[in-house]
Amino acid sequence: MPARLTRLIPRTTRARRRTVQAVMLGAVLALAPATWMQTAAAGKLRTVADVPARDVAVVFGAGLWNGRPTPYLAHRLDTAAELYRAGKVRVLLVTGDNSRTAYDEPSAMRAYLTARGVPDGRIVSDYAGFDTWDSCVRARKVFGVDRAVLVTQDFHIKRAVALCDRAGVDAYGVGVAEPHDRTWYYGTTRELFAAGKAALDAGLRPDPRFLGPKEKGVTEALASAAGTR
């Protein structure tokens, strides 16, 4: 063994024990956020067929290609439209990034949904859903949503449910299954790192990047839906 590596090995039993304990502690701390998400989402993950009815579905953005929803975002929107048609939800809150004029996720999401038969008046846009925590907090504080169905990919749904629960939204999650291709593996790997930020957001509960005033979009859409029964 090279002398340089030999010098890195603790020489006493006590030192070796402390090294092992430090490694074990590091592993526990690394896994703690994922464990928290797993626990928070337990019993809250459903399918379109068995999810309890809620007034609102929250659909998280997932990027645009040339101004149109990416395939993953399209699949989320297809699932949200299915929930609407099945009578599981009455209003869809589409939340995404519109931080610059040339990039408008919520408007692209609305256009996709209306093209597939969801009435425009049943769609509410959140233009400042810059990340999952922001979307959850704004759903509760800005749009007054306290119960919802969340729609996103299966690898993201636990984090979404856990964060919305922490933000005060009693939520069930419908995870969209995808083929295990390169994009899926990237998203799954990304969740391992995103779990740490999620745990910090849940613990510190920061204000979103942009909170803004309360909006009546969801309330008005629900009132309109009630009037057309």
**Per-position pLDDT tens, the chain of length 229:** 455 545 555 667 665 555 544 444 333 334 456 778 888 788 999 999 999 999 999 999 999 999 999 999 999 999 999 999 999 999 999 999 999 999 999 999 999 999 999 999 999 999 999 999 999 999 999 999 999 999 999 999 999 999 999 999 999 999 999 999 898 898 888 888 888 888 889 889 999 999 999 999 999 999 998 876 5
> Which residues sit opposite 128 in a β-bridge?
97
Q: How many angstroms separate the CA atoms of 58 and 117, rounded?
A: 18
Q: How confident is the model at residue 14, as a pLDDT?
A: 62
Task: Show the beta-strand stretches assigned E in the chain.
Answer: 45-46, 56-60, 64-65, 68-69, 91-95, 123-126, 147-153, 170-176
217 φ, ψ (degrees, to nearest 5):
-55, -45
Q: How many angstroms separate the CA atoms of 70 and 60, rounded?
A: 12
What global pTM score does this model have? 0.84
| Region at 227 (left for phi over 0; alpha for psi -120 to 50; beta for the rest) | alpha
Q: What is the CA radius of gyration of the chain?
A: 21
Domains of the chain and CATH, by start: 39-225 (3.40.50.620)
Terminal CA-CA length for the chain: 78
Q: How confident is the model at residue 39, as a pLDDT?
A: 82
Q: How confident is the model at residue 1, as a pLDDT?
A: 46
Q: How many angstroms separate the CA atoms of 64 and 173, rounded?
A: 23
Q: Are the CB atoms for 156 and 31 separated by under 8 Å?
A: no
* Residue 119, helix vs strand vs coil: coil
Q: How confident is the model at residue 134, as a pLDDT?
A: 97
Length of the chain: 229
